[in-house]
Structure formats: structure tokens, C-alpha cells
Chains A and B, each alone.
Chain A
Amino acid sequence: MLETPPDPATRPAGLAPGVPALLGLRGIAKYFPGVIANEDVSLDVYAGEIHALLGENGAGKSTLMNVVTGLYQPDAGELILDGYGVQFAGPDAAIAAGIGMVHQHFKLVSRFTVAENLHLGWGETPRRLSPRALEARADALSAQFGLPIRSNATVETLSAGEQQRVEILRVLSRGARLLILDEPTAVLSPVEVAELFRALRRFRDEGGAVIIISHKLDEIMSLSDRISVLRHGRLVGTHRTAETTIPDLVTEMIGRPATLDESYPRSVPRDMAAATPMVLHGVSARDDRDVIRLHPLDLELRAGEVLGVAGVTGNGQPELGELLTGLRAPSGGMITLNGRDVTGASARVFSHNGVGHVPEDRLRHALAPSLSVADNAVLREYDRPPVGGGGRFSATQAADFARTLAERARVMLPGVHVAIRALSGGNQQRLVLEREIRIASAVLVASYPSRGLDIGAIAAMRAMLAQARDRGVAVVLMSEDLDEIFALSDRIAVLCAGRLMAVIDRSEADRDRIGALMSGRTEGSVAA
């Protein structure tokens, strides 16, 4: 097969000529029935560089990494390790060759301690070992790689950032020379992101190589040494980071120039005395083990307004989202919807009364992945005409409904009877959003709606939220991306450790103030 070799002009700056790449890919292709996941991908990763991999959803980044880590066999092309052609029969072989991957979803045993997780399935784990000795070994590894961990803590008690460190440590302790990270910053607070980047740079400076997949271009620009861009399964370019710009990269990724708007002007002016479709009075939440997750809070949602909810992941946002949509009954306080007391009412009552919900993990919470597009499209309206009513359900009406929904959401469907998991993440999200906007006559709660979406899909999603706002819906937007919050919100609520720190008008908010509130400093101390 004809191969396009890597362009010598894009070799890392300052690299001595003749130094072989740690890992080379030559003409890699991977096909799935009817689909080219990768074709003619050739790139080199050198020791001592952080190499970013960019691309839209579906561009073939994950498939390529699965080939590199031995999960898939390439249908064409070869892998070259230290100058020699290799074949990885499976992930074990890749690990033995020094290639380790940290996945987006952690693969840790939540009830085991950090030390136990580190030693799981590791040939070098001694056969008989006391917990104390295990922890000592774990601490030694932690010091060696400069990744602080609490070796005796159980994983379920750790924050996302801590869990990620355990994952990275686990990979590094098995002798990885090439570390692959898939969207590592999605679940981290800004502080944790900084810590992660420090660790990655240290690893690079000691001669390791890193491949990082991310959608966050500014992070990539600050962290990486070189950047490769994939589009439609093919490599469209490799650049030295210093020699490229974000707009150029975006153009390369999506084939045309695109940017995210920094604001979404209203089509109708903001009504400061608008109705309040939903009001929370002293509402609190406890989890199944009766631990308080959300301290009593008061909150008004206003029609035709976007309320941004800022906060580091896991500080009460899921609980707030569940309270607003009836998935969780408050452990105290009262919720009114359109003036009616709906405290403790079911999710069905909320949705029937105009509350739409785009949950944070759409495949887990908002969709039945194995069911058809049609079945998923009618999830909110199956119990009323034209699809249902009485005990009836019409598959034909459901299919029509799905076609209309897809048309309005501008999603090209391969058919309404295919399983919804066959659609791209962006298309799934558009369908969910459109479905929820249809029923959201009063309130629309969107939790992390841009997670896992590429830039084009994010832009479309944000425009849909803005349209809902303009139609008079009270929109609640939870996001880990402060730019997104600032771009869309009229007011910003900040959560920290289950407390509502403040609700601030957009006009009075700035990054520093919000950042301080997110880290738990109260308004008084900020002012001081």
C-alpha cells in the first residue's frame, strides 16, 4: 500500500538527526464494516515529547490508540518500536513493550485501597504481602514518579483527580515509556489540571513520551510539544506546537474555520421581572447512606434566563440536577413548579409539567443505548398521543416522531430503527437536547452538555440552549468550562462542598471572583 511518511520538517525541534522514534506508525489502517476508522496514518512519537492528538468525535483517535495498545490489530500498516517492527498480540504485549494507557473512564476497583489497586494484576506483586508492606511499596512508587497519593485510602473515597493519579501511577509503575491519556482533564478541577500537567512534564523531562487526546485546545497549546490532527480517520497534519495556532488547528480538524461564540445575544430583551417557574426553598439533599450532599439552599429559576452553575465536579451538582428534575426527593425544604408544590413528586410529574433534563452522562441516564433511535426519541412522550395514550404504543408513530425530531435537531439518521449507540456522541446529544427542549416549557436543566463533544457539536448545542432561553424557558446550565458559563449565563450560581456559595449576575461576575468561590472562599473573604 502506498504510504505517506511523516514529514521530516515536523520532527521535534532540537532533535539530533538520526535519533529513531520511540514509536513509529506507518500506513496504519483499521476498517469496520462499512467504515474506515483509520487509513494511511503515519506518525512518530519521540522520547522526551508530549504529543497531542486532535480530532473531532469520530475522527479515529480512539481507534488509533486501541491499535497502538494492542486492543485492535491493524488491517494494514506497521508499528515500529525503537526502530524495529512489532506486532502486539494483545494489550499485555503492548504493556510489556512499555506502552501504557490511562482511559477516560478509570478502571479501578472502587472498594480496594490505592495500594491494592496499584498492585492488582501485576506480575511483580509479591505473592504474600501485608497491607502495610503494600502501602510502603505504593508510597515508594509515588515518590519515584512524583505523584502524591494516599496509599491506604479506598478508591471510592478519592476525588477524580486522585483516582487519575492512581491510574497514571499504575501505568508508570509497570515500566511505561509511552503514556497515552484519553481526555484526562475532563473530570479535573483547575488546580488538579495544573498538578497533572506538572507530573506529565516531569515524566517527559526524564525521557518519557506522552500522547494526549483532548478537545481543549488552549490546554493542548500550553502543554504539548507537537500536535497531530486526524480527520475522517486520516492524518491531516503534524505540527510543532510553537509553529501553529488554534484557528489553524480547528480549520484542520473540521475542514473549515470555526470558533465558539463568546456570547449568545438575545432575540428578545431580558425581562428582569420575569416569572419564576421553579423555586427552591431551603432544599437539601442526602445520599443513600444519609450523608449530606447538598446543604439547605434557596434558588429561583427565572423564565427566559440562563442560570449557570459553576463548581468543581462532585461538589453537589449531580444532586442539584436530580432535585431540579424530580429524580431525587429533597431531604428537607420545598420545591414549587409553576406555583405548585412538587416536593417529593416523581420525575414523571416534573417532566409532564415542563421540566426537560439533559443529564451529564447521556448514554447512562438519558438513553437506552441498545434500543432504536425511535424508541429513544419518544422516551419523554411515549405515554401521550400521537405515540401512546391509554395502554397503547404505536411503533409507526414513534418512527415518525423520531424522524421529525432528527430533522429539527439537524441530525442525519442512518435510519430510525438502528440502535442509538451507533450514532456519534454529538448526534446523540443533539437528539437528547431536542427531545428535552420539546417538553421543556418551563425549565431545562443541562448538565455538562458539551462533555465529549467536538467544537462543531458544542456550537450547535449552545445555540439550541440560547434558543430555548429566548422562548422563555428557564435554563440551568452546569458546566466545568467557565468560558461556556460566561458565554451563556445571565446569572451564575457557584457550588462548593455541597453549599450554594453565591448567585451572581453575569454583569458582576469575573473569573477571579467565581474561581475563588469555587475553591470555597466566601464572598466576605474575597472582598477582604
Chain B
Amino acid sequence: MSVHMTRLSIVPARRVAIGRALGLLVAVMIVGITLAAMGRPPLELLTLILRSTVGSRFGIEDLALFMTPLMLTGAAVWVGVRVGLWNIGAEGQFYAGAVAASAIGLFGTMPAIVEIPLMAVGGILAGMVWIALPAAARAWLGVSEIVTTLLLNFVASLIVFYLATGPWADHVTGALASTERLRVGLPEVWGAVHIGFFLSLLAVIALAAFLSRSRFGYESAVVGANPEAARYAGMAVSRNVLIVLLLSGGLAGLAGMIEVSGTVHRLQGGLANNYGYLGIVVAILARRSCLALIPAALLMGFILDTGIVLQTAQISASAVLAITGLVMMAIAVGDELSAYARPAIQPKTSGQTS
């Protein structure tokens, strides 16, 4: 007798977790078999990866530094996805936030205690400014935010290159496409882990609390789920869309500020390190839960960190990319398969909506 599977419309979180774990396991096994076929001992590599990521102070610090921007760019994308808006421009807003923070950090003359909060506010505002035009176009003209936010990424990146090689270029150390070191930075708390990590963590938790406990959180959820119903309930749909996108831009801008003032200390051409785009992956991994952004960022950070470890273990960068892709695909497949269940036959229940 053949086994029929049914697709669940609402998948319990536990099923998803199991599906993903199995997906990851399969991915790890495929990688292991491939490495073994290449003549690389997979267990030795696995030990190396674990030691270099979660198994050492060094590795844990690195993970925290990876998570810091990823949590925020993930949150930036997630607040949009939650209401059906796709901010692909977190990369650009990240740069905008970093530029604003750097301007203050390079040329400000105030004490750090004043300047750092100012940099944070500047970073958030700059992220909002960077998304303002796409946000307004989406809210009132219905112009797809996907394209407009994406295109502004390239503009932001070129502006940073211009600043870092032109007017703000560092002529002392001759570093490539880089400004001088910012005069102030976020204080380091634990090794290289600076206060920005805790700020990002707090930001995600605060965001979760804010969205579940505020009128805005409720209204934007309705706007996202069904704009028609929102209009029917007398909600200002366009205004909600605008605010959500500005919030998204602000979060990405804050990520840029924290990265430049806590981790890198200089405005640089490659500063964003694709964190804006990786934020999309983090947001998708987190699905419907805001707090799930934290483990999602951890997983993403772990994958990126593993990539670095594998490179130093002489596995080529393109192989690392392929492995990353495989892991992502395994998770996606795990997500999808976890939605399929054997129909549970319970003869006592009544019929369902047809």
C-alpha cells in the first residue's frame, strides 16, 4: 500500500527544527563524503572547524563579531518580510549608516560618551534617509521596493569607495580604500567582542517586544497580512508601509554604525562584507519569529566562520561557496519537507472546511 503525504498549511516549529536538523545532517554528510573522496580526512576537518569556532575563545569571539551585524541586517530584512515588503537594500543602508557614523567619528571633537550615542543616532538616521525614497515610492506610488532598494546599494558602495579613496582617504598607513582610524570606538567587553554585540542582541529583543506589544506592531501585521482588511479597519496603510521600511533602513544603518565603530574602526570599501544580502538569508531562516533571528544569525555566522576555517585548511574559496550553498539548500529542503505529514487518521473528528 502506498503512503500518502499531505502538506500542512501551518507547520509546527518543532517539525521545522527537526526538518532543518536532518537537512543539515544530510548536507554535512555530503560534504564529508566529498572531502573524503578528495582525500581530505573529514573527521579531522570537523574537529578543526569545531575547535576554531565554538571550541575556542578565539572562535567564539569571531562568532559573536559575525553575529553582530547579521542580527541587525537580519532584523532589517525581517521587519519588512513580516509585512510582505522586501528590503534588498540593507547593504546600502548599512553603508549609509557607516558613512554617517564615520563622519562623526573622524571629524567630531566631542568626548566619546557624547559622540558614540551621536554616531548611533546618525547611523540610524542615515539608514532611514537611504531607504526614504524607495519607501515613499512604495507607500504612495506602489513602486516595487525590491528594485529601488537594490539599485541604491551600488550607489552607496561607490560613495564609500569615493570617500575612502578620495576626500577621507588615509594617507598615513596607505591602507587600501580606507579612511583613517576613527577617533572613538565602541568599548570592547570581552576580547575583541565589543558592546555592539550586546546592543544588537538587545535591539532584536526590543524589536520583538515592541512589535508584539505595540499598536504599530499590530497594525503593521494586519497591513502585511491583508491590506484590504487594514483599510476596512481604518488603518493608514501607506503610512504603515513607510514606517516599516524606515524602521528596516534604520536597523541596517545601525548595523553599519556598529560594524565601523566596533569591529573595523575605519570606513572601507568592502566594509559591508555582504552583510546586507546575508541579512536576507538570516531573515528567511528566522521565518515568523523575531527572536529566531538570534539563532539564525548564529547559524549564518557559524557557516561564514566555517568558510574561513576551511580556507585556511586549503579548501578553495569556491568550494567553500559551494558548501555554503549546499547547506542553505539543505535547510530549505528541510523546511519544505517538514510541511509534509502522514495524514493522522482520527475517526472521531468531524469533517473539515472543504
Contacts and interface: CB of A to CB of B under 8 A. Distances in A.
Given A33-B344, A366-B229, A347 B351 contact: no
A371 B6 contact: no
A348 B214 contact: no
A368 B229 contact: yes
A259 interface: no
Given A391-B215, A419-B10, A35 B231 contact: no
A285 interface: no
Given A347-B231, A364-B226, A33 B218 contact: no
Contacts of A459: none
A457 to B, nearest CB: 12
A351 B217 CA distance: 21
Chain A interface size range: 35 or more
Contacts of A325: 232
A36 B233 contact: no
B8 interface: yes
Contact of A32 (B217, B221, B231, B343): B343
Given A368-B225, A392-B215, A35 B341 contact: no
Nearest to A364: B228
Given A351-B234, A375-B218, A380-B233, A393 B213 contact: yes
B233 A351 contact: yes
B350 interface: yes
B274 interface: no
B314 interface: no
Interface string A405-428: 000000000000011011111000
Interface in B218-265: 218-219, 221-222, 225-226, 228-235
A380 B232 CA distance: 9
Given A364-B228, A391-B215, A393-B214, A371 B10 contact: no
Interface in A52-79: 57-64, 73, 75
Interface in A113-168: none
A382 B215 contact: yes
A30 to B, nearest CB: 8
A371 B233 CA distance: 15
Contacts of B229: 364-368, 379
Contact of A347 (B219, B232, B346, B347): B232
A231 B341 CA distance: 25
B212 interface: yes
A395 interface: yes
B318 interface: no
A108 to B, nearest CB: 21
B173 interface: no
Interface centre among B235, B345, B346, B353 (most CB of A within 10 A): B353
Nearest to B3: A75
A425 B352 CA distance: 11
Contacts of A73: 4
B353 A36 contact: no
Given A33-B341, A346-B234, A383-B215, A371 B222 contact: yes
Contact of A388 (B6, B8, B215): B215
Nearest to B352: A35
Contact of A395 (B212, B222, B345): B212
A9 B228 CA distance: 51
B354 interface: yes
A67 B148 CA distance: 44
B349 interface: yes
B214 A392 contact: yes
A37 interface: yes
A365 B4 contact: no
Interface in A336-371: 346-352, 357, 359, 364-371
Contact of A370 (B214, B225, B353, B354): B225
B343 A75 contact: yes
A34 interface: yes
A122 B118 CA distance: 64
Contacts, number: 138
A232 interface: yes
A33 B346 CA distance: 9
Contacts of A364: 226, 228-229
Given A33-B344, A233-B351, A391-B214, A375 B232 contact: no
Contact of B10 (A61, A379, A382, A422): A422
A394 interface: yes
Interface in B9-28: 9-10
A289 to B, nearest CB: 16
Contacts of B341: 33
A365 B228 contact: yes
A37 B343 CA distance: 11
Contacts of A359: 232
Nearest to B234: A348
A31 interface: yes
B256 to A, nearest CB: 28
Given A31-B6, A33-B6, A62-B354, A391 B216 contact: yes
A61 B233 contact: no
Nearest to A395: B212
Nearest to B346: A34
A61 B228 contact: no
Contact of B222 (A32, A34, A379, A421): A379
A327 interface: yes
A61 B343 CA distance: 19
Contacts of A326: 234
Contacts of B4: 31, 73, 75
Contact of A36 (B10, B234, B351): B351
Contacts of A375: 218, 221-222
Given A34-B346, A58-B354, A347-B233, A371 B221 contact: yes
Contact of B218 (A231, A390, A393): A393
B215 A379 contact: no
A371 B225 contact: yes
B343 A31 contact: yes
Interface centre among A36, A63, A395 (most CB of B within 10 A): A36
A435 B213 CA distance: 22
Contacts of B345: 31, 36
A52 to B, nearest CB: 16
B22 to A, nearest CB: 19
Contacts of B350: 35-36, 58, 232
Contacts of A58: 350-354
A372 B353 CA distance: 17
Interface string B314-354: 00000000000000000000000000010111110111111
Given A33-B344, A58-B351, A383-B215, A327 B231 contact: yes
Contacts of B225: 368-371
A367 B354 contact: no
A11 B304 CA distance: 69
Given A35-B351, A37-B351, A392-B215, A357 B232 contact: yes
Given A33-B343, A64-B354, A232-B350, 7 more contacts: A36-B347, A231-B351, A368-B225, A368-B229, A378-B218, A392-B214, A422-B10
25 contacts: A31-B6, A34-B344, A57-B354, A327-B231, A347-B234, A348-B233, A351-B234, A357-B232, A365-B228, A365-B229, A368-B226, A371-B221, A378-B218, A380-B233, A382-B215, A383-B215, A391-B214, A391-B215, A391-B216, A392-B213, A393-B212, A395-B212, A418-B10, A423-B353, A424-B353
Q: Which 3 A-B pairs have the closest CB atoms?
A: A348-B234, A368-B225, A31-B343
Interface of B: 4, 6, 8-10, 212-219, 221-222, 225-226, 228-235, 341, 343-347, 349-354
